[in-house]
Structure 1
Amino acid sequence: MKIGLYFGTFNPIHIGHLIIANHMAEHSGLDQIWLVVTPHNPHKTKSTLLDDYKRLEMVFQATEHYPKLKPSDIEFKLPQPNYTVNTLAHLQEKYPSHQFSLIMGEDNLKSLHKWKNYEVILEHHNIYVYPRISGEMVPAELEIHRHVHRIDAPVVEISSTFIRDSIKAGKNVRPMLPEAVWQYVDHNNLYKK
């Protein structure tokens, strides 16, 4: 089975995430998309993150009616801070019959050369890239790499930071969240402080 791994803090998961994940599931040749909730990104400060299991619950709620989209807590069990190359090795060992690929925005592809052991990732895994609005150029060696595949997905510029800030300011963000996620956030008074 071909699995696309879509990593994120999903703090919170929003319709932009769902649009990208579903587009990849339907238009890239991948069988399933696993939304991997990252407990702590080495490049982000932990203090801004909502509890890991609350974020995982929101991903469960958001993907419940999408059979090709699966929430994953695989990184919760790995030493922190974790790196993608370690997660890929762990998954390959746990699911030897699956073929794992990465899904990332163009902005992440531009900084891939800064990732731990990025050459190992590139050598053994396909990377499916969705467009982002950005002025920077992708390094030429990544642009033409045989394992890098551009997918003409919709450009969705919604950010979890904007949603959190808007909630804190008392703004209505309901259209930006899957309905079940909005209900969960509202019911639990999340992001209001």
Structure 2
Amino acid sequence: MPGDEKNVMKLGIYGGTFDPVHLGHLILAESVCEQLSLDEVWFVPAFQNPHKMGRATTPPKARMEMLRFAISGNPRFRLCDLEIKRKGHSYTFETLQAIQELHLDAEKYLLIGADSLTDFPNWREPETILSLAKLVAVNRGRSPAVIPEYLEPSQVCLLEMPAIDISATEIRNRCEAGQSIRYLTPRSVELYISANQLYKPSPEESETT
């Protein structure tokens, strides 16, 4: 009977280094929430992103705190510390398996940038990822994105969002140069970065420049 039907939770999963979280991340998550009518989006900061092994990342505690500040006030956004607790390299398939155990009945959507589709076959166990969640590839650029031939149209949902030219690299570089990051990240995150002197060059580096 229709009245006996169970409402299935629609859960978005948004992983990344978030070093630091910025307005582009938040606009992407909100855009996907709206377009797919998601119940929640879980922000999952990586302990160590295997795709970004060339530089040291800010300690997990600080990145978690910045995320808490950034998503506070949005009832659909949640912070998930599964990868931080697991430590080591943060592989998406392992995270999805852990979330599957927590929410077996939820429809899971993995949020990624459309530019990541090209490299997706090189991720660890891509077939496992596709068996556990539907890819939501969000085009953040100004040119139309396309679904690669190796993916079936049923495996990926291609969405558009306004082009937001903000990157965590830009924010780190501006902090290092002593430039303003106002309006690139939430004010609470900006103040946290300033108070904790994040992304500033070390005294040793300053002496050599």
Q: TM-score, normalised on structure 1?
A: 0.92
Equivalent pairs, count: 192
Inter-partner Cα distance in structure 2 for 1:160 and 1:24:
20
Inter-partner Cα distance in structure 1 for 2:108 and 2:15:
12
User: Which letter maps to 2:169?
Assistant: T
1:173 aligns to what SS in structure 2? coil
Q: 2:148 aligns with which of 139, 148, 152?
A: 139
Matches within 5 A, 1:105-184: 105-133=113-141, 138-142=147-151, 144-184=152-192
User: Which letter maps to 2:148?
Assistant: P
Inter-partner Cα distance in structure 1 for 2:180 and 2:172:
11
Structure 1 residue 138: Cα displacement: 4.7
Q: Which residue does the alignment assign to 2:67?
A: 59
Q: 2:14 aligns with which of 6, 14, 32?
A: 6
Deviations 1:125-161 (A, max 9, x none): 111111033889652132x430200112222221101
User: Which letter maps to 1:98?
Assistant: A
Inter-partner Cα distance in structure 2 for 1:134 and 1:122:
27
**Identical amino acids, percent of aligned pairs:** 34
Please identify the structure whose Cα radius of gyration is greater.
2
Contact in 2 for aligned 1:104/1:127 (Cα 8 Å): yes
Structure 1 residue 181: Cα displacement: 0.5
Unpaired runs of at least 5, structure 1: none
Inter-partner Cα distance in structure 2 for 1:115 and 1:99:
22
> Displaced runs of 4+ in structure 1, greater than 4 A?
134-138
Inter-partner Cα distance in structure 2 for 1:55 and 1:100:
24
Inter-partner Cα distance in structure 1 for 2:53 and 2:169:
13
Structure 1 residue 123: Cα displacement: 3.0
- Residues 47 and 141 of structure 1, relative CA distance in 2, 3 Å threshold: closer
Residue range with higher mean Cα deviation, 55-64 or 88-97: 88-97
Question: Structure 1 residue 192 and structure 2 residue 192: aligned?
Answer: no
Q: TM-score, normalised on structure 2?
A: 0.85
CA RMSD of aligned residues (A): 1.8
Deviations 1:149-191 (A, max 9, x none): 0112222221101110111001111110101101111111111
